[in-house]
């Protein structure tokens, strides 16, 4: 066979293989969309372009998994934590803060007996590296160096490409946590980066078998296809390896609320030196059933993570963290991302300019909410993103945090 004939044959074979792979991926995407997008009782078009499908509560994605085969939905927690130490309001409320909601509420609500689900589009799944990777965090494991094992516990979550500015407590058994955080729309430089602010409920060891429940707000163009600020949750029971996902993109979180859509846009957003808008998130372990519940604001009990999803968290958490996280996709070449954390301003700028988390509380073994004590702080690159702790009679334990990313001190 002549050389040019061989080359032409190889070209045709490669083209045929690529076409076949494209067809398989397209088919996989369609199948995955059918699994995620259940038949709706009602659909609502959000002003930001999202479609919110109201599906029957018993048809949510969680119940597709064999582990949920005999699961009975717990329609309300057996107990709420007691002893709320601080008001949901702030001394700044009358002049600077306002109530907050989700953008899709402008065009309707879901009926009783249904839950609101953000409809997943083909483009959402296609942006992922694979269908199986859609809705999961992309973590890189820290190498097991001596400095790794000698580092403070929070440093174990600082991974290549992920940077944090957090406050944390450890050294006790924790059964939940709460905080109020103001909401911003930080600029995200690259498609594969994100910026978020959240609380973490943690148990186990990061490198091997970390259990984590997370909730807060995030900007993630890779996950959502835009730069809107969205309410989110995440969970894992094996250090982000095979289990868990964002929101309800896999079996895990069981939603009961017909008013809050996970992954949907939050509105309105805080503006620099102008009105501030904040949200409160409470996560706690039901002392009777053992499930971990999430409450958004004062009024919305959103749903729960069943205790059987976890190993360490089936009993209690050993660490609570609050704060911000960004992905820095340029860490490998030494050029820091311009992706902002929080407001994009450092903690020293204070109220109305920097991001804050206030009224930080933990749930103890008696199901009481109590002020977080002996709070410590950690940031991997303070010249890029920093954190400053405080305490007051109005805000209890609080901190300011965030930053612009790359700047003259953070090249």
Task: List active site positions.
Answer: 214, 325
* Number of CB atoms found within 10 A of residue 12's CB: 10
With a CB cutoff of 8 Å and minimum separation 6, the contacts of 221 are: 188, 191, 193, 194, 227
d(CA 385, CA 343): 11
**Number of neighbours of residue 33 by Cβ within 10 angstroms:** 16
Residues 178 and 85 sit within 8 Å (Cβ to Cβ):
no
**Is-cis flag, bond preceding 265, omega within 30?**
no
| Residue 182 to residue 376: CA distance in whole angstroms | 20
Among 333, 337, 334, which Cα is nearest to 325's? 337
Q: Do 28 and 125 contact (CB within 8 A), yes or no?
A: no
Joined tokens for residue 238 = 């094996």
N-term to C-term CA, the chain:
57
* Residues 324-352 as b or e (16 or more Cβ within 10 Å = b): bbbbbbbbeeeebbbbbbbbbbbbeeeeb
Q: Can you tell me the distance from the alpha carbon of 67 to that of 307, in angstroms, rounded to the nearest whole number? A: 12
Tell me what percent of the chain is helix, strand and coil, each rounded to the nearest 5.
20, 35, 45
Q: What is the C-alpha separation between 183 and 154, in angstroms, rounded?
A: 24
DSSP state of 237: S
CA–CA distance, 245 with 331 (Å, rounded to integer) = 24
**Cβ contact 372:320 at 8 Å:** yes
């Amino acid at each position: 066979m002549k050389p040019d004939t061989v080359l032409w044959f190889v070209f045709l074979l490669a083209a045929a293989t690529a076409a076949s792979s494209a067809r398989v991926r397209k088919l996989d995407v369609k199948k995955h969309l059918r699994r995620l997008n259940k038949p709706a009782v009602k659909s609502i078009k959000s002003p930001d372009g999202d479609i919110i499908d109201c599906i029957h509560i018993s048809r949510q994605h969680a119940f597709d998994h064999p582990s949920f085969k005999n699961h009975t939905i717990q329609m309300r927690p057996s107990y709420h934590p007691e002893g709320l130490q601080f008001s949901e309001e702030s001394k700044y409320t009358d002049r600077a803060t306002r109530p907050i909601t989700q953008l899709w509420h402008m065009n309707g609500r879901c009926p009783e007996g249904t839950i609101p689900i953000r409809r997943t589009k083909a483009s959402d799944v296609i942006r992922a590296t694979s269908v199986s990777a859609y809705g999961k965090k992309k973590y890189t494991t820290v190498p097991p160096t001596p400095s790794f094992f000698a580092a403070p516990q929070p440093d174990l979550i600082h991974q290549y490409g992920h940077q944090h500015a957090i406050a944390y407590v450890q050294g006790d058994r924790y059964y939940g946590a709460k905080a109020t955080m103001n909401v911003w729309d930080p600029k995200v430089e690259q498609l594969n980066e994100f910026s978020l602010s959240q609380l973490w409920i943690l148990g186990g060891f990061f490198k091997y078998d970390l259990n984590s429940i997370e909730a807060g707000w995030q900007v993630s163009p890779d996950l959502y296809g835009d730069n809107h600020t969205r309410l989110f949750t995440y969970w894992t029971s094996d250090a982000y390896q095979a289990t868990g996902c964002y929101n309800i993109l896999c079996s895990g979180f069981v939603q009961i609320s017909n008013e809050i859509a996970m992954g949907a846009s939050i509105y309105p957003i805080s503006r620099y030196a102008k009105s501030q808008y904040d949200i409160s998130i409470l996560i706690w372990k039901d002392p009777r059933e053992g499930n971990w519940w999430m409450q958004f604001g004062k009024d919305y009990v959103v749903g729960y993570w069943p205790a059987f999803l976890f190993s360490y968290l089936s009993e209690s958490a050993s660490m609570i963290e609050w704060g911000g996280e960004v992905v820095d996709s340029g860490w490998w070449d030494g050029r820091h991302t311009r992706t902002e954390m929080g407001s994009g301003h450092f903690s020293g700028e204070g109220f109305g300019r920097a991001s804050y988390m206030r009224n930080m509380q933990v749930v103890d073994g008696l199901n009481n909410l109590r002020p977080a004590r002996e709070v410590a702080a950690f940031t991997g690159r303070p010249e890029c993103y920093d954190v400053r702790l405080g305490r007051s009679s109005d805000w209890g334990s609080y901190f300011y945090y965030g930053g612009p990313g790359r700047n003259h001190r953070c090249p």
